[in-house]
Structure 1
Amino acid sequence: MRLMKNTQLSDQINTQLNNSNQGMTVFAPTDNAFSTLKAGTLNSLSDQQKVQLLQFHVLPIYLTTSQFQTVSNPLRTQAGDSGSQLNITTSGNSVNITTGVVDTPVSNTLYTDGTLAVYQVEKVLLPMSLFGPPSPAPAPGPLKKKKAGSDDDTPTTDDGSASADASGGVVFGGHLHGIYVGVIGIIAAFYL
């Protein structure tokens, strides 16, 4: 609640409820859920990321417990982007939420009035967009030959990073040719 007040998300929810006929669904983590987060998790987030985290706990539609059985996944949250979706699954009367980072049961109905539903969850819902694995580094560009007439015809990538030469050796920034010449010069000096 303190985080909602500090980020003014509670004001946003009130405004949206007054101006919409779709209602809202809020998933409220317990105090224990917040205390089990890794130390410093909330403090490491910017103000904008804190708002995004809270918005991830809000669906822009009103869902009853019976509607959890037939909901279409993934569900878009108030956080908006594609990394801010969650899935709801059911088994009998049990309801589970999956974010791609955490799974948690819906353990209790805290409030419902036909417009706003608030459900208790046992973990903080962590969105992929904030807590998912980092994107992999881009692959190196395609190999290309130096211009004809150049005294170094070793293939390199567009950015001059490592590439393989014809013998399978690794070229670091296109300088393997110079290493070969240097090694040959040392051997020739030793035998002369």
Structure 2
Amino acid sequence: MDTRQKLIQVCAALLKDSGRELSMRAVCEAAGVKAPTLYHHFGDKQGLIDATVEDAFDRYLTEKLNKNSTGNLVEDLRRGWDLHVKFGRSNPVLYKLMYPELDLKNLPPAAEKSFALLSGAMKQVEKKNLLRSSLNAEIATHAFWAGLYGMMMLICNNNYQQDAELLSEIVRDAMIDALLQTGQPTSEVH
């Protein structure tokens, strides 16, 4: 592992343990480097945080992209939601840094990629005529995203872990039921 990657991993671990309070001295000590090395690689504290967020998002997207499609659009939406929630629950501080606010016009690049994946999935759902008649893929994407983002902010801002999995499943399935018209149980839609 190179020094830059080691600093990113140390930063991620310290953010996870200490929340948003991050000392560059603590990062350097934990990584076994001097401050000039950190500043050489990242410029400043924000540069290190940005690189750490980008690295976490890249790992998340790699996992998401490596999940093979089930061939069932609804099941794939469920799996995408669950993976997103799992990542956020495991990395609440990094998640809040990735999505400091719900501004779809100013998302970090990796967050844009994640949003584009959701948008593409909703376009497929629309193409199969599975959306409720009053909806289009753009509205469905924004609605689904709003539900997911709200769920994640409840978990991350309140350290809500009690029954988080069950609550997430309820909100996820309510979103799917509200957006899709399948005429059959959603688990059977292909």
**Bin for the TM-score computed over the shorter chain:** under 0.3
TM-score, scaled relative to structure 1: 0.22
Q: Which is richer in strand?
A: 1
Structure number with greater Rg is 1
Higher relative contact order at CA 8 Å, sep ≥6: structure 1 or structure 2?
2
